[in-house]
Structure 1
Amino acid sequence: MTNIYVFKFQQEADAVQAELHMVPSVIAAESLYGKGAVRLGLQYTLCRQKNAMVIKSVNEAAEAVVRIFTSYAIKVFGEQSFEVERKEPNGQEG
């Protein structure tokens, strides 16, 4: 299972600020699945120029990080200040 999530933030929601919420998301998932599972299953990249973050998930632990991070983003920035799109690894939308 490989999923790629593209988070695109509006101007009022800064991707750099959003990255700060990745840390507690990772810690929360590590508490449930273990540090190794999260480290092996999660990869993310911040694109400051596009005010976006791309998250690659290859296991259940990483999927938990994505869900937790999404919840943080909704609480902190609001539902209208970003959009998230799941893409298939081959570039197709999911």
Structure 2
Amino acid sequence: MTDICKFKFQEKIGKKAIEKQIARAIETAEYTFGPAKVRLHASYLATDDKVAIVTSSEVGEYIAQIFIGIMTRKLGEDKFTVERIRRGEEP
């Protein structure tokens, strides 16, 4: 099963700006889990106004939580939505 957190921003922020904040979240995860474990489990896809972070592992879940905190502080809670998508649960 693959779990994904899908972020959608009301305004285009730019892929480069989004990836900068994801990099901060990944770096924070390295302090907790170590670089090797993060390298194995960290996975995301970003565009100018959307991000998908794979949250199937504790590392991915942690990265998504940190990213939410960073973006909430930077933009505000009402500037983006987060949707959890669980793959593999369909009959």
State the TM-score, normalizing by the size of structure 2. Answer: 0.85
Q: Which runs of 5+ in 2 are unaligned?
A: none
Q: Which amino acid aligns with 1:46?
A: A
Q: In structure 1, what is the Cα distance between the partners aligned to 2:43 and 2:71?
A: 18
Count of matched residue positions in the alignment of Structure 1 and Structure 2: 89
SS in 2 for 1:21: helix
Give the direction of change, closer, same or farther, for the CA distance of 1:91–1:84 in structure 2 (3 Å limit).
Answer: farther
Q: In structure 1, what is the Cα distance between the partners aligned to 2:59 and 2:27?
A: 11
Q: Which amino acid aligns with 1:6?
A: K
Q: Deviations over 1:12-64 (max 9, x none)?
A: x515222211111111110010112112112111123xx10111123112211
Q: In structure 2, what is the Cα distance between the partners aligned to 1:32 and 1:80?
A: 29
Q: In structure 2, what is the Cα distance between the partners aligned to 1:74 and 1:15?
A: 16
Alignment match, 1:2:
2
Alignment match, 2:83:
85
After TM superposition, which residue ranges in structure 1, 4 or more long, deviate above 6 angstroms?
Answer: none
Note the 1:29-48 alignment, pairs <5 A. Answer: 29-48=29-48
Quick one: percent identity of the two aligned structures? 29
Cα RMSD, aligned residues only: 1.9
1:2·1:58 contact (CA, 8 Å) conserved in 2? Answer: yes
SS in 2 for 1:88: strand
SS in 2 for 1:14: coil
1:42·1:58 contact (CA, 8 Å) conserved in 2? Answer: no
State the TM-score, normalizing by the size of structure 1. Answer: 0.83
Q: In structure 1, what is the Cα distance between the partners aligned to 2:63 and 2:81?
A: 17
